[in-house]
Amino acid sequence: MTLNDRLALLSEQVVKIQMLNSLGHVVALKGLALTVSGFSPNLFLGDRLELPVPGRDSIPLEVVGFSGGEAQAVAFAPLDGVAPGMSVRRVSQAVLQPSEAWLGRVLDPLGRPLDGRPPPPLGGQARGLRAAPPNAGTRARLGPRVDLGVRALDSFATCRAGQRLGLFAASGVGKSTLMSMLARHADCDVAVFALVGERGRELREFVEDDLGAAGMARSVVVCATSDATPLMRREAAYAATTIAEHFAEQGKRVLLMMDSVTRFAMALREIGLSAGEPPATRGYPPAVFAELPRLLERAGPRAEGCAGSITGLYTVLVEGDDHDEPVADAVRGILDGHVVLDRKIGEGGRYPAIDVLRSLSRTVPGCLKPEERELLQRARRLLSLQADMADLVRLGAYRAGSDPAVDEALRIAPRIEAFLTQRKDEKGGIDSAFAGLAEALNGA
């Protein structure tokens, strides 16, 4: 190869290099979105930008769309002090570099510490925040059963390693309490928590009271509070999933808990509307419902041959107790099971307020032993019959002895309800749960 050939080849390679610090400028600002111009064609969707602002830290941005020769970007921080003409520079793509040292840390979605300690050491591999799920054709099957530590779930919605369960609840029904029980008692090697749009005061309560020192030693908490920008709230879900993937690919059994998918969808809605997407169902742009499976499918078993898995527990905040609202309906169809928390059950004093008749794990009854399957079928039948007859009994329209099956249901259902009641500090397991259910069904 001649010198000219080498120079031509080198020139072609140089053209392909992305300029990491190429400059542009702010053209317009509308709502949450900035219009920036002046970049070379090497700017891509999802790229990170930086906007220096006098008198404060630079504002990180992300490219969310293009119009003509201009890019639409959304900020990770409030846009106070921003004006047209300000310089913007491209700095990187959206990546994280998790490491073992991230265990025990509380971080924001950009990997910055929220616990008052120095920044955590970076790992050796940069991981994209929007990685594709494992290939469906080579993905491993679900693993063994997982003890979640909550009797109602271990018996009526038994979970397997790599399964994804949704916890559906309206506000004030005990969702946070159930999450804290799962965080403390679930059997896993590593736990990753995504707190999306949570109240700021609840972070330390969750870390110090619910997890404690022992729980934090195996955990990473990613938090974007309710006052954070939509981009930060959205990114919390991506960052936590990326961290979970890092540990799962090391062969760890990872528990990924996200609270909540609804606030993630709301953040997507705010970003999409600011970028000019048309509103559709309940104001959600169509892109929201395309993004939900891209995120949720990343949890689960890894590629065949990898011992690690991500067991996903996702809370869904249903609006006005409407379990068929668009986000809840979409998520229910994606996940491998759903757990319904009912306000009336909580008002009756039984916690966790799980409606076991409306809850479902798609791995049941396949993951149960024959004797466990019989116990579960009998318990469901008795609870269903008792629920059907409750109004008649309350009105005095049913006379004891009229129907032996109803009499049995009325006698045993209170014992099942007592079995389902569990204190926050009680820890259970699948074997002990079915033993307790058998005692409730067969006790005198």
* Of the ranges 47-51, 93-97, 152-156, the best mean pLDDT one: 152-156
CATH of the domain at 434: 1.20.1270.330
In percent, the amount of the chain with pLDDT more than 70 equals: 94
115 and 168 in a single domain? The answer is: yes
The DSSP call for residue 55 is T
63 and 120 in a single domain? The answer is: no
3 within some domain? no
341 lies in which domain range? 96-361
5 within some domain? no
* Domains of the chain: total: 3
The tokens describing 345, both together, are 């059950």
Given 302, 328, 361, the domain boundary residue is 361
320 and 434 in a single domain? The answer is: no
356 and 380 in a single domain? The answer is: no
Which of 299, 375, 373 minimizes the C-alpha distance to 337?
Answer: 299
In DSSP terms, 259 is beta-bridged to: 195
pLDDT digits (tens, 9 = 90+) for 192-248: 999 999 888 889 999 998 888 989 999 999 999 999 999 999 999 999 999 999 999
180 within some domain? yes
pLDDT on residue 235: 95
User: With the C-alpha atoms ordered 327, 284, 77, 74, is the resulting torsion angle positive or negative?
Assistant: positive
What value does the CA radius of gyration of the chain take, rounded to a whole number of Å? Answer: 25
The pTM (predicted TM-score) of the whole model is 0.89
C-alpha to C-alpha distance for 94 and 166, rounded to whole angstroms: 27
Given 51, 73, 93, the domain boundary residue is 93
pLDDT digits (tens, 9 = 90+) for 6-36: 655 564 454 344 444 578 899 998 877 889 9
70 and 163 in a single domain? The answer is: no
Span of 2-16, 176-190, 376-390 with lowest mean pLDDT: 2-16
343 and 414 in a single domain? The answer is: no
